[in-house]
Amino acid sequence: MSDSPAPLADPHLLFDTADGRRDLVILGSTGSIGTQAIDLVLRNPDRFRVTALSAAGGRTALLAEQAHLLRVNTVAVADPGAVPALREALRERYGAGEPLPEILAGPDAAATLAASECHTVLNGITGSIGLAPTLAALKAGRTLALANKESLIVGGPLVKALAAPGQIIPVDSEHAALFQALAAGKRADVRKLVVTASGGPFRGRTREELADVTREQALTHPTWAMGPVITINSATLVNKGLEVIEAHLLYDIPFDRIEVVVHPQSYVHSMVEFTDGSTLAQVTPPDMGGPIAIGLGWPERVPDAAPAFDWTKASTWEFFPLDTEAFPSVGLARHVGTLGSTAPAVFNAANEECVDAFLAGRLPFNGIMDTVTAVVTEHGTPAPGTPLSLADVLEAETWARARARELSAKATAEARA
């Protein structure tokens, strides 16, 4: 392992450790990660300054409020149709004669901001549309605080080709935990990465017992408050499969040395086992403030970024093996991760379509993974050594989305017949 290339995320390396306030660009500012990051910035004005914000365009009033609070130079929306509402919302927030921030719009707007002058880009966009901004930030030499796991999943080789060692700092709670635990030892002494999973709302159920679960049940997560897509991914454990692929790419650890263990309390966010038998765990109550602070501030820690444990109170922590029969998503993710090339992009795109179908009531819960598996199988095995381009990823995603919609519609029609 010592002869392997330096990992993309390495706590012993940092691409840029400039002193003073860090200028930040926040992508996906109106989402869960973005709003929590802005809260952290507002509580630490001596450490951070936000220069630009981007969002999809569906929450223009919130975006305008954020822009005014932070006094940013530029705001961007992916939907050009949202510009009039955004401009009006900005006028309502800003005083008479006060200059409004520049407005960018369109599918390339977030990537433009990602390449703009700043220290760190926080990519909090949901979905594979975050790939282009990830690549833009890396190409521009920015430190990338990565919450958009999909961009690494679908474009792993493209990301690895651009990223300098240590240029990426992960913001997922699990990968921020691994990142911190890895700081305690040498890379050559790492035996295993242990990624924890809450088990979601259906932990302990058999596949048969999952057949009739409802949208509302799947959206009720026992320990985390997240957006609908991520919450459903947690219910199917697809999120954990994606995190296994992400851990492999970030830390250059083989798949057979990345283990998933179910930990319902979500206190231990992940662990690193070393060759001497020691296991180091990163522990906090379930809260994204800590991982976001690591992404924006490393190697410095931000005081009171997240709540700490009250060790005067008794608590019970449990760990269980993963039920691979009821939740086959992790095994399938390992498979596509091993295949590489466009296979992870197909897996992710098909899952996104199937989650949409489930949320819309067009697909049963078990149908999500059944359909994803069928799409991945039909896609086949990429030829070894085939170079990957952004066009290849986009083409594979387009095919996978269309095929997943076709199979979902077929399953719905058969269920109604």
Q: Helix H segments across 124-227?
A: 131-139, 149-154, 156-162, 173-182, 215-218
> What secondary structure does DSSP assign to 82-119, as a single string?
GHHHHHHHHHHHSPTTPPPPEEEESTTHHHHHHTSS-S
Using DSSP, state whether 52 is helix, strand or coil: strand
**Contact assessment for residue 295 and residue 169, using Cβ atoms and an 8 Å cutoff:** yes
Looking only at the bridges linking them, the beta strands covering 48-55 and 22-27 are parallel
Side chain identity, residue 207 = R
Length of the chain, in residues: 417
Known binding site for Mn(2+): residues? Answer: 172, 174, 243
First to last CA, the chain: 55
Antiparallel, parallel or unpaired: β 120-123 and 143-146: parallel
Q: Which residues contribute to the annotated binding site for NADPH? A: 30-33, 56, 148, 150, 227
Unique residue bearing structure tokens 């001497």: 276
Nearest to 60 by CA among 28, 85, 35: 85
Binding-site residue set: 30-33, 56, 148-150, 172-174, 198, 221, 227, 234, 239-240, 243
What CA–CA distance (Å, rounded) separates 94 from 92? 6
Residues making up the binding site for 1-deoxy-D-xylulose 5-phosphate: 149, 173-174, 198, 221, 234, 239-240, 243
Q: Residue 368 contacts by C-beta under 8 Å, 6 or more apart in sequence?
A: 232, 236, 238, 351, 354, 355, 357, 358
